[in-house]
Amino acid sequence: MTEETITKICYTKAEVDSMIAFAVAEARRIDEASMAKHNREATIISMILGFTCLALFVDGLLRILGIIPPFMHLDVNIIDKVADRVETDVIDKIRQVPIQRLLRR
């Protein structure tokens, strides 16, 4: 091989350093772009999951409170049960306390 052929095939140290610097810069750019895309997609997925969980929680709460009618004949309304318990237990206990004792204090 002649020296002219060798110089056409081989790279100098400066050329190799410049190619390495370019490759590292390109890899960093690709990494930053892929992380930005990942963060954007993860944020969207988290928002969808959060909204869905909140909607299901509110739906269950409103069904328990009796604001929304039962679904598939599964009645989870507790307001009537709470009102009945208050009428029987609490009001009976209030009636047991003499009024004179409360007025003396």
pLDDT at 67: 85
Rg (CA), the chain: 38
* Global pTM exceeds 0.75: no
- Give bridge partners of residue 37 from the DSSP assignment: none
Q: Confirm if 59 and 68 have CB atoms less than 8 A apart.
A: yes
Amino acid identity, residue 51?
F
Q: What is the pLDDT of residue 101?
A: 67
The per-residue pLDDT for 100 is 67
Query: What is the rounded CA–CA span in Å between residue 22 and residue 66?
Result: 66
**Cα(74)–Cα(65) distance, rounded to whole angstroms?**
14
Average pLDDT, 10 consecutive residues per value, the chain (105 residues):
71 91 97 97 98 95 85 80 83 75 67
pLDDT at 102: 66
Q: What is the DSSP letter of 77?
A: -
Which residues, 6+ apart, have CB-to-CB distance to 11 below 8 Å?
Answer: 19
**Residue numbers of the domain that contains 63:** 3-104
How many domains does the chain fold into?
Answer: 1
